[in-house]
Amino acid sequence: MRALVVDPDVPGALRLGTVAEPRPEPRQLVLDVRHISLNRGEVAFAGRRPAGTIHGYDAAGVVVRAAADGTGPTVGTRVAAFGAGAWAQRMAVDTTAVAEVPAQVDLADAAALPMAGITALRTLRSRSILGRRVLITGAAGGVGRYAVQLAALGGAHVIASVGSSARAEGLAELGAHEVVIGLEGIDRPVDLVLDNVGGPQLAAAWELLAPGGGVQTIGWASNEPAEFAPYSLFFVGPAKTMSTFGDVHEAGPDLATLLEFVAAGRLSPEVDRRDSWERVTEAAQTLLDRRVAGKVVLDVTAGTAA
């Protein structure tokens, strides 16, 4: 079958190649993949993985082989999936990492949700957000645009931070109460920071935290380190916290929640670019260059691998 595989010798370190069919474990189903979505971190660090690795985690398609242990959806079910080796014509994936796609949701939109949507949902659950001030940095990206919507749904006062005025477009319509460039104009403490930027802005965001507040570090778009002044992490009073996020265990139930929100019109998939996976190099570059607001979804097409 065809797949997008790691090749450090080509531009972007990804190319279409031919690989063996997946061999599922008893707890896994086999998915006929129709659409995949790209995440900036996956694209940026593809070249660090071993050559020949099937890359990617986000996919949507139709079940062609049910799990041997009897769990999960049956053959013919449309599902979204989160799992390694997703950028292929077929993937084996744990039944706990898939969710059925409602009839009213397009499969291409469903493919946009797994990694970015689950990250936004789970980081927002780190503490109560009803009536709280939530700062989302890198708000124009995939995780950021989902986080803005979900935080607004959860009753937060949402502050969306972007890198330029051009990147601010559409965020107020998604639910942001304030849209700022960098951290300019934030004159009151915030209760929760979802940080997708890192670098000096992460250190500055820490200074904005209210007593008892927390920072969830998600991504690191900056090319610089974060430097904290001596004693700046010390605080007398309710503890301030900084946590990393990487929990994608058993993503299926949360993926189902996101799909229900999309089906009900409460969450926009925010697909800004849709293309064929034949043009993965060009599509990936637009993501790296921040010429995409939201998600990139690629259609998996038949053809001859290079």
Band of the pLDDT at 235, cuts 50, 70, 90? confident
**289: which 2 tokens?**
């260059």
C-alpha distances in Å from residue 259, one per residue of 40, 46, 50, 117, 203: 22, 28, 33, 10, 34
Residue with token string 């959806």: 73
Q: What is the pTM of this model?
A: 0.94
Rounded Cα gap, residues 69 and 28, in angstroms:
8
CATH number of 117-244: 3.40.50.720
> What is the per-residue pLDDT for 205?
97
Residue with token string 């993926």: 255
> What is the per-residue pLDDT for 246?
78
> What is the per-residue pLDDT for 304?
59
> What is the per-residue pLDDT for 182?
97
Q: In degrees, to the nearest 5, what angle opens at C-alpha 123 toward C-alphas 176 and 138? A: 45
Phi, then psi, of 88 in degrees rounded to 5: -150, 165
> Alpha-carbon Rg of the chain, whole angstroms?
20
> What is the per-residue pLDDT for 169?
94
Rounded Cα gap, residues 240 and 237, in angstroms:
9
- CB under 8 Å to 108, separation ≥6 — which residues? 34, 35, 60, 271, 274, 297, 299
> What is the per-residue pLDDT for 66?
98
Q: Is the pLDDT of residue 294 over 90?
A: yes
**242: which 2 tokens?**
């900084």
Residue whose C-alpha is closest to residue 222's, from 206, 198, 203, 205:
198
Helix axes 142-153, 252-263, angle to 10 degrees: 70
Helix extents (H) in the chain: 40-44, 107-111, 114-124, 142-153, 171-174, 199-207, 252-263, 280-288
Rounded Cα gap, residues 119 and 125, in angstroms:
10
| Domain segments of the chain as ranges | 2-112+269-299, 117-244
Rounded Cα gap, residues 264 and 260, in angstroms:
6
Domain range 2-112+269-299, CATH class: alpha beta
